[in-house]
Amino acid sequence: MNDAQKLWWEQAKSDHDVFVLLRRAGVHECHMLHYLQMAAEKISKAYLWRSGTAPPRSHVGLMPFLQALLSRGLGRKERQRIAEIFDYARPEDMAAWVRQVSPLAHELQNLTPDLSNNGPNTEYPWPREKPAHCPALHSFALWARLRDAEPGRKLVKFLAKAIQRFEQFA
């Protein structure tokens, strides 16, 4: 693990800790989703820093991270090792899971104001030019899917594992 990875990982841990606290406190969905999105982005960037080169400066990170974990360039043995870190018997099982949760992962990473296309986001009222909605009063369908449906719960658990076990696959 290089120095940049350590810094991004530390921030991911902190953001995830805040997500857990907010979830226990039962605050507005926007705040929980905001910290979950930030934790996901930062653990993703921590992994993507492994090359020693900065990942693109954007909020997009979760999908490139999931794809990088499954990259054929890693070799079969390394993909097997990573799959086992995340409790999958085979890389193919992990790849099937990634395909299943990709829509949720895209939706989570796209909650940022710059990626939300002037629609629901976790930070600012929208639409920008004529605000009619605010995050604190909005019921995010994504939160219900992350909380209540198996694929969503697995994505939330995966992110926690990625943060907790980062040293094993960094």
Domains and CATH numbers, the chain: 3-169 (1.20.120)
Give me the amino acid identity at 130: K
Structure tokens at 67: 């794809």
Provide the pLDDT for residue 18.
98
User: Distance between CA 82 and CA 102 in Å, rounded?
Assistant: 18
Best CA proximity match to 73, nearest among 56, 101, 42, 50: 50
Question: What is the per-residue pLDDT for 12?
Answer: 98
Task: Give the per-residue pLDDT at 3.
Answer: 95
Q: What is the dihedral of CA 157, 162, 163, 164, to 10 degrees?
A: 80
> Residue 66 carries which side chain, given as an amino acid letter?
L
pLDDT of 57 reads 81
Backbone φ and ψ of 133, nearest 5°: -140, 150
Say what the pTM is.
0.94
Directed axis angle between helix 76-85 and helix 91-109, to 10°?
Answer: 70
Q: Taking the CA of residue 21 as centre, how many other CA atoms within 13 Å lie in the half-sphere pointing to its CB?
A: 7
pLDDT block averages, 10 residues each, the chain of length 170? 96 98 96 98 95 80 90 88 96 95 95 91 95 96 96 97 96
Q: Which residue has the tokens 């939706």?
A: 107
CB 19, CB 129: distance < 8 Å: no
Burial of 8 (0-12, 13-18, 19+ CB in 10 A): buried
Instruction: State residue 58's pLDDT score.
Output: 75
